[in-house]
Structure 1
């Protein structure tokens, strides 16, 4: 797909964006495509032979694998960060994701990525999940920069009825949660993943190629359903996963397989319209899997979704464009970086006062990233936080031990071998399309090398609880995650200088937080009031009845060493300033002082 030449005779990128709960794929055309995925070990390009994701893998092997990509630990937080380029804690969207019956959304004062792109001439479309506010109309996608919206507004939805069930103060709220723009869709049938894919493909086929395109496809798969049935894969995906022994894991794999097929179909549609060559595809996860929730697997990473561990926040990510030399990028990348990075790729200006960093040069030219640290997450409702600086990561607060282990080993059991990886890869739709359209051929030897390089070194073999660090109010945990991504070896006492510095930086970020109020269900949201459809229920002009909470105490006691460190910093800073002041006064100062004495 090609856009109209700009004043310099160059073509601006179109953006197709596909988002899946397992991974977000963004395509910038230039097109941007974003997909959202789940667990680290749920894609086969990370080395797993259990769940095959050949279409996603082809993108990875022909593009840049972002090996140290951080999202957030919950869906609303990750999505708000992607759309705004800001840490969720500045928006009040951190911690627990927004309830369907909660009056909350990304503040309307914030400009979102689709609005920036629309101002650059892009046609903007969202297909699938929103989950950053719907209680008021001005929170909805078509009020925030998307020209069209087709999908569901909350965290999950039933894959066949498109209904959402939520418990509200002991009452079950249930109703349709599927829309085209502002109107409920009542005559649709079929599996959710397939109907969302069909809509994305049709938008590509109907697109005016003289205009740039931003298509954001945000699948539910492989998230659990929003009704009373949790895992609902298409029936035709079950046979190919018959080798998986665990029943629920097999169902989960079916959802992942349907997601991978969707990626292949969308790539084929781009090629059909001759748009693929000028497309940027970004594929990222919104957060890690919940091993006890949807049977995803984060191994060898530690922890589950909704924790500060790597298994929750370090996510699957890749970028593809025809101009990218295949590589594994080991530099730190954060979900807030997509807004400035994609605006840069599209030729737009970078907004000020955001946390994201433009990494387009890092991706395309191999430039050294300007990002040397990242606030991984702050959760003031649950009382914990994580911060990374260089090679090191600090975790503080009250973290659930049950979700802080290494779950998922039992999910890896197989009854027999799966299909040969090489055969599955070469037969995939993406592989055939790339070969026929762009003359891009997979080199099997280099693919296996890249695949092995993308595996994380497992430095722990499911250590017992007493052998790993769990933070307390008196002491946090410090890991050198560049060498110990499984967070097995605590360095808190061995690296006190690093602990003091990072604790101080994290304390500072904590004080900048816009506190997250406790989720509060509103009985006016009950779909039964509106013919069992989840509509917005609060007038835009109604004041938010919610006094701003004070920032809660930082979840780590101040130690004597930390206080001494602060004092030393301030004294040294004061000393340096006095020294600089005297130095700058120069000869006039010497002359003035000399006049006071008679030598």
Structure 2
């Protein structure tokens, strides 16, 4: 088939993923089984690939480095375009284009976050007998019915939205805007969530120290003492705007000065506190500890030191280059997950839900009445397979349209954002999709289609994937941003 035929098929224009479909997901698991492992998911915000020592960072991060050395460290872990899309992918195993979570709706466009119909990893684990809690940032719904306690968490404390709201009330005309004062909330399953205190610049630099981490530590201690399997999801606040150093760390980072170094130093310390809590509770050997970032660094917070995305081109807004989607991730489970392993295997935010389900023996609860885009990489995590099962990763823009597809070592870019003022410009659509060889050109400097059209064959896997996605959305139309989706009829 000639390259012109590929281009015609590309220009037709609807994009996304192949799926798994079938009957409604199974009832809660009731078969006899051994004790389930506890799960700690520590999610940091807008922290790029090169921020930590094990990823080549220059700020000392002994605790994160230790965590990486005790399990698997991913060098090719991929996320979605922004905070809400990435968190939605982690929770549901679905690309946000399917869930209506590619962006946060503007006023009048409907409700923010996920429809209650979505089946989250918290719901799955709750149905598996776990105690579940979230402390920190949610950003997947800010109305009753869409809070964490409505989506599978027994309890939660934090912000339903995002940390930049901490800076709202500092502006003189804020009161005249009519916008409510941003609040921190809490809630329990079966009850309505309620606001508990203002989210402002006073609490911003100490929120992790005084609230998020202590609540996490206490939750681990309590459930371990009760011998109940638990899942705690930590929505850590940094590096999200507004970045303000904790007074105990400001100006005190060793070997390197500045705000960025201070924030990384505190982040590492807080990870160490949670690691120690697991150890002190006597459950270290039976606890899966996951650490990852939701998005790349830079772009959103250049004032803290610029992008820290390792050897890759791109940042938070400069998509879909590797620096915008490839972030740190690691997993530890002593005696089960191989230790000291560094892998180039492809893995993605959408993969956590089916993978965790597989690791705890609850794959039967993964929904079968909707497209699930994640792969179950539990065998890889447990050292039973040499591959994750993923060799292709699609990346969507906040408009819900495809931007790139990464297949093995090749990256095909259909649209991209211009740097350095990416946020102020529309996406660019090249005349011919650009192709980069990530094995020899990780910075994506040399578009192979500019010099050698004999590479036209590399489009084939991408178009095959696109065809599968187009077929899937005919059967299971994507949920619109803000839609109060109730489910697929007769599915």
Q: Report TM bin, short chain.
A: 0.7 to 0.9
Q: Using the TM superposition, give the Cα deviation of residue 165 of structure 1 relative to its aligned residue in structure 2, in angstroms.
A: 8.4
Query: In structure 2, what is the equivalent of residue 137 of structure 1?
Result: 144
RMSD: 3.2
Residue 383 of structure 1 contacts residue 397 of structure 1 at CA under 8 Å; is this kept in 2?
A: no
Whole-angstrom CA distance in 2 between matches of 1:315 and 1:373? 17
Query: In structure 2, what is the equivalent of residue 147 of structure 1?
Result: 154
1:495 maps onto 2:468 in alignment:
no
Residue of structure 1 aligned with 2:215, choices 189, 195, 199: 199
Whole-angstrom CA distance in 2 between matches of 1:166 and 1:233? 24
Residue 71 of structure 2 contacts residue 330 of structure 2 at CA under 8 Å; is this kept in 1?
A: yes
Residue of structure 1 aligned with 2:183, choices 169, 173, 177: 177
Change (3 A) 1:92 1:275: same
Whole-angstrom CA distance in 1 between matches of 2:478 and 2:448? 31
Change (3 A) 1:144 1:397: same
Residue 288 of structure 2 contacts residue 332 of structure 2 at CA under 8 Å; is this kept in 1?
A: yes
Unaligned runs of 5+ in 2: 1-29, 188-192, 486-491
Change (3 A) 1:301 1:125: same
Q: Using the TM superposition, give the Cα deviation of residue 64 of structure 1 relative to its aligned residue in structure 2, in angstroms.
A: 0.7
Whole-angstrom CA distance in 2 between matches of 1:89 and 1:130? 18
CA offsets, 1:474-511, max 9 Å, x none? 22211122332221221223411112542453465368
Query: In structure 2, what is the equivalent of residue 402 of structure 1?
Result: 420
Q: How many pairs align?
A: 423
Change (3 A) 1:340 1:238: same
Change (3 A) 1:383 1:204: closer
Residue 394 of structure 2 contacts residue 406 of structure 2 at CA under 8 Å; is this kept in 1?
A: yes
* Structure of higher CA gyration radius: 1
Query: In structure 1, what is the equivalent of residue 37 of structure 2?
Result: 13
Residue of structure 2 aligned with 1:303, choices 310, 314, 318: 314
Q: Using the TM superposition, give the Cα deviation of residue 389 of structure 1 relative to its aligned residue in structure 2, in angstroms.
A: 1.5
Query: In structure 2, what is the equivalent of residue 33 of structure 1?
Result: none
Q: Using the TM superposition, give the Cα deviation of residue 375 of structure 1 relative to its aligned residue in structure 2, in angstroms.
A: 3.5
Residue 252 of structure 1 contacts residue 296 of structure 1 at CA under 8 Å; is this kept in 2?
A: no
Query: In structure 1, what is the equivalent of residue 282 of structure 2?
Result: 274
Query: In structure 1, what is the equivalent of residue 233 of structure 2?
Result: 216
Query: In structure 1, what is the equivalent of residue 16 of structure 2?
Result: none
Query: In structure 1, what is the equivalent of residue 478 of structure 2?
Result: 514
Residue 197 of structure 1 contacts residue 266 of structure 1 at CA under 8 Å; is this kept in 2?
A: yes
Change (3 A) 1:544 1:355: closer
Query: What is the TM-score when the length of structure 2 is the normalising length?
Result: 0.78
CA offsets, 1:382-441, max 9 Å, x none? 86511112221111125223267xxxxxxxxxxxxxxxxxxxxxxxxxxxxxxxxxxxxx
- The 5 A counterparts of 1:36-75 are 38-49=47-58, 51-75=59-83
Query: What is the TM-score when the length of structure 1 is the normalising length?
Result: 0.65
Query: In structure 1, what is the equivalent of residue 441 of structure 2?
Result: 484
Higher normalized contact order (CA 8 Å, seq sep 6+, divided by chain length): 2
Q: Using the TM superposition, give the Cα deviation of residue 162 of structure 1 relative to its aligned residue in structure 2, in angstroms.
A: 9.9
CA offsets, 1:72-123, max 9 Å, x none? 12111100011000111111212x3456996222122211111110011100
Residue 164 of structure 1 contacts residue 174 of structure 1 at CA under 8 Å; is this kept in 2?
A: no
Q: 3-state DSSP class of the match of 2:77?
A: strand
Residue 70 of structure 1 contacts residue 334 of structure 1 at CA under 8 Å; is this kept in 2?
A: yes
Whole-angstrom CA distance in 1 between matches of 2:214 and 2:170? 22
1:346 maps onto 2:360 in alignment:
yes
